[in-house]
Amino acid sequence: MNFDFSADQKALRDYVRKFFAAACPPSEVRRVLEGNAPYATDVWKQMASLGYLGSAISERYGGSGLGYLESCVIAEEAGRVLAPIPLFSSIAFAAELISLAGSDSQRQHWLPRLATGATIACVAFSEAGRHCRAGSIGVSLRNGKVHGVKAPVLDGGIADVAIVVSSDGSASGVSLALVDLSDSRVRHEHLVTVDPSRNHARLTFDDAPAELLGTAGEGWRLFEAARDRAAVLMAFEQIGGADRSLEIARDYALERHAFGRPIGSFQAIKHKLVDMYVKNTLARGHAYFGAWALSTQAQELPLAAAAARASASDAFNFSARESIQVHGGIGFTWEHDCHLYLKRARLLACALGDVHEWKEKIVATLQQQVAN
């Protein structure tokens, strides 16, 4: 039994943690939150030069070829500090989708650019008022042109290129389209979300020129496969944030005195902290299994990814929310960091399939297993 990261991966984690502590303090998150920067450009550049962006991209395509487990380690650390960077969009999701679906020349073209951070990609899948399903996609891809509106698109306002999940009128219905977002037939509108420290846009495509990514009509299958991979990486981002929320609450419970003693000596507070710890620990178990499934391309990946996402969303929401409760009034102020975690937790819970969808997927998969 070796269900843990290796010594080298833990050394990497320590290193990445130090890097983020220096490069991405809360002031950097607030700079983006307050609208003074679209994302943390310096953090992004430094990560690129350290090889962190290309960790799961093979050396053949300009990555550092470290592996998925290393990507998980990096995602968790980014989550701890709420790094306001397009790591998830460009690396965890778009690069995976291109690796999975792209032709060799598309990989040759895009992956090195994504690994160096010079190009930022996003995946445009959500549409206002609809749940993202194969049968309910309004944006169309016809004759090499994309038409329609995608919103909200995570990092849509800072990305150079988008992979647009489109309906193509064919029998199986969905194709993926690469669209250059600097084209004049793409309109960007900034969207303010519950967590403005991560960029969001509404993208309107008015017959924007597009390049097919992957086989026509196979788009939904490819999207789902890449989404499972991305879900594991997002789960790590979430457990990083969840653990940090617990730590902040714990530190405060030791330091804050009420009724003549540290509030952490009251069972009401102690038990609340343990509830957070338990949820985070279980979510960590699921995330690790997701990491294993991702790194070995195991057939368990869809279930593992769903479990990782559902448990990490619940854990991060709970820890961030209850951390404010432990803090009392100070936790409700703009100046305290608690709300940064609360908002990020909610954002990530909604950003890539909600908990109901992932839990539904869990039960559907278990049903198949029992039927077999």
Chain residues in the site for other proteins (CB under 8 A): 1-6, 69, 246, 250, 253-254, 261-262, 264-265, 267, 269-271, 273-275, 277-278, 281-286, 288-289, 291-292, 295, 307, 310-311, 314, 356, 359-360, 362-363, 366-367, 370
Whether the bond between 152 and the residue before it is cis, its omega within 30 degrees of 0, is: yes
What is the residue type of 18? K
The residue among 286 and 327 lying less far from other proteins, judged by its C-beta, is: 286
Instruction: Indicate the SS3 state at residue 259.
Output: coil
Total Cβ atoms within 10 A of residue 293: 23
HSE-CB for 187 with a 13 A CA cutoff: 8
Output the smallest distance, CB 362 to other proteins, in A. 5
Q: Cβ 309 to other proteins, closest distance in Å?
A: 11
As measured in angstroms, the least distance from the Cβ of 127 to other proteins is 23
Smallest separation (angstroms) from other proteins to the CB of 55: 16
Identity of residue 182: S
Residue whose entry in the numeric block shows the structure tokens 């789902």 = 224
Least Cβ distance, residue 265 to other proteins (angstroms): 4
Smaller CB distance to other proteins: residue 321 or 359?
A: 359
Q: Which lies closer to other proteins via its Cβ, residue 246 or residue 349?
A: 246
Q: How far is the CB of 173 from other proteins (least distance, A)?
A: 25
**Residue 165, token pair as written in the block:** 């999940």
Between helix 219-255 and helix 68-80 the angle, nearest 10°, is: 40
Least Cα distance to 154 among 186, 118, 199, 100 occurs for 199
Output the DSSP codes for 321-371. HHHHHHHGGGGGSSSSTHHHHHHHHHHHHHHTB-HHHHHHHHHHHHHHHHH
Closest approach of Cβ 308 to other proteins, in Å? 10
CB 120 within 8 A of CB 110: no
Please, which residue, 49 or 369, has the CB nearer to other proteins?
A: 369
Q: What is the DSSP string of 77-138?
A: HHHHTT--STIIIIIIIIIHHHHHH--HHHHHHHHHHHHTTSS-EEEE---TTS---TT---
Residue 303 C-beta: closest distance to other proteins, Å:
9
Taking the C-alpha atoms of residue 267 and residue 254, their distance in angstroms, rounded to an integer, is 13
* Rounded least distance, CB 242 to other proteins, Å: 13
Evaluate whether 176 touches 220 at the Cβ level (below 8 Å). Answer: no
Nearer to other proteins, 69 or 161 (CB): 69
Which residue, 162 or 301, is less far from other proteins as judged by CB? 301
Nearer to other proteins, 170 or 281 (CB): 281
Closest to other proteins by CB, 259 vs 334, is 259
Residue nearer to other proteins on the CB measure, 122 or 303 = 303
